[in-house]
Structure formats: C-alpha cells, structure tokens
Amino acid sequence: MTATMAGSHSARQRRLNWVWRAVALVFVAIILFPVYWMVNSSFEPQGQILSLTPSFFPVHFTFHNFVDATGRPFFLVDLRNSLIVVVSTVCVVLVVAFLAATAVTRFRLRGAKLFLVLVLVVQMVPTTALVIPLFLILDKARLLNSFQGLILTYVTLTLPFTIWALRGFVRAVPMDLEEAALVDGCSRLGAFRRILLPLVLPGLITTGVFSFITAWNDFLYANVIMQQQDRWTLSVWMFGFQTNTGTDYGGLMAASTIFALPVVIFFLLVQRRIVSGLTAGAVKG
C-alpha cells in the first residue's frame, strides 16, 4: 500500500519535473529573444531586414553593418572615453561605498540611520530634474567636458544603491572574525584588509556590475556634460547614430550589439562571482 503510494507519488513528481523543465525552456526562450533578435538583425543586410517575412537566421550573413558602424567618426575615441569614465567610476564608487558601508555597520555612528534614509531619498529625485542644476554647478567648477566631471556625476548617482547593497554584504561577515584577528594581534587596518575585504569581495564585484551598467548606459548626463564630440561616450555616439540613420535598423542593431558587448564580456568574466556574491548579500537576512 505504502509502496504504491510512494510509486505514484514519485511518478507524479517525475511528471511535475518535466512540467518545470518545459516552463524553464519557455522562459529562457522569451527572456533571450530580444537579445537574439538584436544580434540576428545586426548580421542581416539592409534589404533583408525590411522584408515582410523576417528570417530567424541571418541567411544573407554580412558583417557590413558592423564595418559600417565601427567606421563612423569618433567610434574608437568614444569607446575609449566610455571605458575611461566607466572603469574609473566603478573603482571610485566601490572604495567610497565600501568605506561608508563599513562605517554604518561596524560602528555605532550617530546619524548613520539618517544618512541611509537620506541617501534613499536622493534616489527618489527624478534624474531629469537634476540635469540642469548639475550642469550649472559643473560649469562653475569648470568641470564641463572633462572626464572628472562625468566620473564625479556617475559616482554620486550610483553611490546610494552601492552603499545600501554593500551594507548587506558587510553585515553578513561575522564581526567575531575581525575581533579574533584583532585579538591575534592584527591591527585594525590589517583586520580590515585581511578579513573583511576578501570576504566582501563577491559583494564588491556584484555592486561593481551595477555601477558599471548604470554608468555605461547613461545618456542623459553624458549628453549634457560632454559637449565636444571627442569627449562623447559610446552611449552618446549611439544616439547620434540613431538620429543620423533613421530607419537603418541593421546598423542600429549592430551599434547596439557593439554597445552591449563590453557589458556582456564584463559579465561573463565575473559571472560565477555574481551568483556567489548575491548569495553572500542575501545572508543579510
């Protein structure tokens, strides 16, 4: 009796597992479709793209769109600008946010709660409303058209989220570990560097990805702050591309693919770390 019950139970379980697998595959198809469509269109010649029966594989495979997109003026310069600005932003924001997260979790600091709330309130201000005043203050500081000005802007804009996220990661590291290191004769700085830093590393990588994407994506601020074409970032380049080409979807998709590529590479490099990083962050309970 119990045996048959168990048998039917596991048969049901097996059937259910097949249902889950099917659901997962449908989900993967849906979530990947826009990415796939972008890459697919970027390899199609212009005439093929604007056809009433879109093909799901680039039958008339061509690199033309990519050659055309990368051949546009200032592509390499703008790519370099983007990399400089984004990599600097990520480095600076991680250091600053890590220090702040340590300050609010490891010490009884008066006003820490107020700081955390204020930082979230800052996130609520519509970014479009901040563009003009920010432009004016950067103008006064003579930081327009400079990498420093844009880096400063991105660091500040991504700080709120990074601080909140890192706060969770730092809190997840048991304080006993650091105290043990202190007892063993480690200096405060040594405990910080040898214990806290390695354990929070996955968290740093995960939050680094967030600031990377935010800074890489931004068009609004880069467009206002960087007015000379040789100072543009790749996102500004891409929108210039969009307005210049009208309905050249092949070129646009190629440009979008190129634009997305560095983020994907960065992602794949740190992919394993991200999942483990998110796990560590989740301990914050």
Partner 1 sequence: MPATAIGRTERLIPPAPSYRRRARRALRRQLLPFLLLLPALVLVGGVLGYPIGQLVATSFQQLGLFELIGHRVVWNGLTNYRTVFASSQFLDSLEQTALFVLATVGLTMLIGTGVALLMGRLGKILRTVVSVAMLLAWAMPSSAASIVWSWMFETEYGVVNYIAVSLGLHGFNNHDWFASALSAYSVVTAMIVWQAIPFVALSLYAALTLVPQELFEAAAIDGASPATIFRRVTFPLVRPIFVLLTVLSVIWDGNVFNQVWYLTAGRAQVINVIPLGVWQYIEAFSSQQYGLGAAVAVVTVVVLLLVTGYYIRIMVRMGETRA
- Which residues, numbered 1-60, are part of the site for partner 1 (CB under 8 A)? 17, 20-21, 23-25, 27-28, 31-32, 34-35, 37-38, 41, 49-54
Buried b (16+ CB within 10 A) or exposed e, 152-185: bbbbebbbbbbbbbbbbbbbbbeeeebeebeeee
Q: CA 77, CA 62: separation in Å to the nearest integer?
A: 25
Which is nearer to partner 1, 186 or 263 (by Cβ)?
A: 263
Q: Select the span of 66-74, 83-91, 148-156, 224-232 touching partner 1 (CB under 8 A).
A: 148-156
Q: CA 139, CA 149: separation in Å to the nearest integer?
A: 9
Among positions 104, 150, 196, 200, the unique one binding partner 1 when judged by CB under 8 A: 104
CB of 65 vs partner 1, minimal distance in Å:
13
CB of 79 vs partner 1, minimal distance in Å:
14
Among positions 77, 186, 213, 224, the unique one binding partner 1 when judged by CB under 8 A: 213
Which is nearer to partner 1, 48 or 62 (by Cβ)?
A: 48
**Is 125 among the residues that bind partner 1 (CB under 8 A)?**
yes
Let me know: does 44 contact 58? Beta carbons within 8 Å: yes
**Is 64 among the residues that bind partner 1 (CB under 8 A)?**
no
Among positions 220, 223, 224, 245, the unique one binding partner 1 when judged by CB under 8 A: 220
Let me know: does 209 contact 226? Beta carbons within 8 Å: no
**Is 72 among the residues that bind partner 1 (CB under 8 A)?**
no
**Is 83 among the residues that bind partner 1 (CB under 8 A)?**
no
Let me know: does 206 contact 273? Beta carbons within 8 Å: yes
Burial of 48 (0-12, 13-18, 19+ CB in 10 A): middle
Among positions 102, 145, 223, 245, the unique one binding partner 1 when judged by CB under 8 A: 102
Q: CA 162, CA 68: separation in Å to the nearest integer?
A: 38
Using CB under 8 A as the binding criterion, the count of chain residues that bind partner 1 stands at: 101
Which is nearer to partner 1, 157 or 231 (by Cβ)?
A: 157
**Is 259 among the residues that bind partner 1 (CB under 8 A)?**
yes
SS (H, E, C) 162-178: HHHHHHHHHHHCCHHHH
Which is nearer to partner 1, 104 or 231 (by Cβ)?
A: 104
Q: Is 189 helix (H, G, I), strand (E, B) or coil?
A: helix
CB of 122 vs partner 1, minimal distance in Å:
6
